[in-house]
Amino acid sequence: MDKEENLKTENKPSEEENKNSDLDSNSISSEESENNDKKSSEQSSEEKVTELEDKLARTFAEMENQRRRFEKEREEAFEYGGFSFAKEALNLIDNLERSKQILKKDETLKNSDVLDKALEHLDIIYNDLISIFSKNNIKPIESLNKKLDPNFHQAMMEIEDNEREPGTIVQEIQKGFTMKERLLRPSLVGVSKKVENNNIKNEENKENLENNK
């Protein structure tokens, strides 16, 4: 019995050994927690830095876009600042054209020197205006005998004409103008279309009637 008790007491760890083992485990767990805290703090700081970098990048990109928009608006204001004035000035061209047409239709002035001189003076004024416009990059749109271009022409009527391809401009009602490649106003025009053959139409109508019987 004494031997067995001695063996048990020998195999039992002392209280000091238990305390030391507890201290060691506590110290290990505290070190692990500290390491975890450090890692989490490092990760959080890295995330904050990344977030700040993203915000800065977005801010710089937005500032660059605003700068480009401002530059574009400034250039357009400089180049097309007189756009409205130029558009209004086209009324002078229209009034000159109307004056010429009125004088030509006046029966009392037909075949007279007065009419010829008046038309000559109006032509001089017209050509001077066109020259001034041209120097300021305001140019008339070429229309007659051109194919209809919706970007520059507006068709007002169709005129029967078998000599030209359909859609060819055969009449200019009002001259159009551009300013530095930008449209001031479109040309108002009349375009050609094929002459309708009434005989062919009548035959087609007869055939339709017979088929429907």
- The pLDDT assigned to 66 comes to 73
Q: Is the same domain home to 179 and 213?
A: yes
| Global confidence as pTM | 0.55
79, 110, 126 — which closes off a domain? Answer: 79
Q: Is the same domain home to 67 and 91?
A: no
Q: Is the pLDDT of residue 69 over 90?
A: no
Task: Tell me whether residue 145 is in a domain.
Answer: yes
Q: What does the alpha-carbon distance between residue 6 and residue 93 come to, in Å, rounded to a whole number? A: 129
Phi and psi torsions of 185, nearest 5° = -160, 150
Q: Is the same domain home to 176 and 187?
A: yes
Q: Is the same domain home to 131 and 189?
A: no
Kindly calculate the radius of gyration of the chain based on its CA atoms and give it in whole angstroms: 46
Q: Is the same domain home to 155 and 201?
A: yes
Angle at 115 between CA 112 and CA 119, to 5 degrees: 145
Could you tell me if 196 and 155 are in contact, meaning their C-beta atoms sit under 8 angstroms apart?
A: no
Task: Tell me whether residue 4 is in a domain.
Answer: no
46 exposure class (CB count in 10 Å sphere: 0-12, 13-18, 19+):
exposed
Q: How confident is the model at residue 9 (pLDDT cuts 50, 70, 90)?
A: very low
Task: Tell me whether residue 157 is in a domain.
Answer: yes
> How confident is the model over 123-160, as pLDDT tens digits?
999 999 989 988 888 899 999 999 999 999 999 999 99
Instruction: Please tell me the total count of domains within the chain.
Output: 3
- The pLDDT assigned to 3 comes to 46
CATH number of residue 158's parent domain = 2.30.22.10
Q: Is the same domain home to 71 and 55?
A: yes
Q: Is the same domain home to 209 and 154?
A: yes
- The pLDDT assigned to 121 comes to 92
> How confident is the model over 151-197, as pLDDT tens digits?
999 999 999 988 888 999 999 999 999 988 889 999 999 999 988 76
Q: Is the same domain home to 38 and 72?
A: yes
Q: How confident is the model at residue 201 (pLDDT cuts 50, 70, 90)?
A: low
Q: Is the same domain home to 111 and 171?
A: no
Domain enclosing residue 62, as ranges: 15-79
| Highest averaged pLDDT of the listed ranges 11-15, 55-59, 138-142 | 138-142
What would the mean pLDDT of 33-61 be, rounded to a whole number?
A: 69
Q: Residue 97: how many CA atoms within 13 Å on its side-chain side? A: 11
Q: Is the same domain home to 70 and 93?
A: no
Task: Tell me whether residue 36 is in a domain.
Answer: yes
> How confident is the model over 74-119, as pLDDT tens digits?
666 556 567 888 888 888 888 988 999 898 888 888 888 888 999 9
Q: Is the same domain home to 37 and 71?
A: yes
User: For the CA atoms of 113, 116, 118, 124, what is the dihedral angle to 10 degrees?
Assistant: -140
Q: Percentages helix, strand, coil for the chain, rounded to the nearest 5?
A: 65, 15, 20
Q: Is the same domain home to 153 and 129?
A: no
Task: Tell me whether residue 9 is in a domain.
Answer: no
